[in-house]
Amino acid sequence: MEVKIAKIAGFCMGVRKAMDIALSCAQTTQKPIYTFGPLIHNPSALDLLASKDIEILKHVPQSGNGAVIIRAHGVPPETKMQLKYAGFYIIDATCTRVIKVQMLVRHYAKKGFHCLVIGDEGHPEVIGIMGYGGEKAILVSNEEELKKIDALNLKDYIIVAQTTQDYERYDKWCNEITARFPGGRIFHTICDSTHKRQREAKRLADEVDMVVVVGGKKSANTKRLAEIVHESGKEALAVEDERDLDLERLKKFNKIGITAGASTPEWIINRIVEKIGSI
């Protein structure tokens, strides 16, 4: 059996920065320390943070103390203010690429532009971005919502994307929108790392019989990698860690590829490689 690993897999720049900040805080910052929501979408990484006594804060309490780390996905500006008023010290680990999208939306919303945000409904990054646009922010997460924007009769508007969106879908939807409403400004805010990771997943799928996609079940970018493998005509096995591997199923294939989402730690990828290598 031949095993090929994607050239781009595992932690992206934003996730690595957030993890580094959190682990550094565990050593230098007085407890209690929280992350607002799960820092990243990976159970093994969250277990590591929990072992360092970093807790998850799910809601803003009326009062509190200690430090709160804003995760890589970011939060709406109102949430930051609420945390400060509650008495927390804020440590912002928002990915710089996400901050760019937030600032674009805030800038154009203040100028009266509609801000179309192409992303996944309910995703924390999207919730944060929408918060910067207020009433001017409009979420487009599926074909049905794409049709509904006809009622808005758009004139002055911009289009941005959640940083982990599928590049081809974003390009297609932007072309559809601007064809119906000329004059809109398109900002290519999909993270370059995401684009390269998706392109690499497609290349890998073309070279192997099946692909193991490693990442958290709640990770949007990991799900998208599995979709890309399926679209390439190959079977994808989504796993969170080595315990999810079906070795009997894998024995049927001669060439197996391994790719991983942006929130997947390298130690998990290494365990996957080691277990598959034992077949």
Catalytic residue list: 125
Instruction: Quickly list DSSP for the chain.
Output: -EEEE-SS-S--HHHHHHHHHHHHHHHHSPSPEEEES-SSS-HHHHHHHHHTTEEEE-S--SS--SEEEEPTT---HHHHHHHHHHTPEEEE---HHHHHHHHHHHHHHHTT-EEEEES-TT-HHHHHHHHHHGGGEEEE-SHHHHHHGGGG--SSEEEEE-TTS-HHHHHHHHHHHHHHSTTPEE---S-HHHHHHHHHHHHHHHHSSEEEEES-TT-HHHHHHHHHHHHTT-EEEEESSGGG--HHHHTT-SEEEEEE-TT--HHHHHHHHHHHHT-
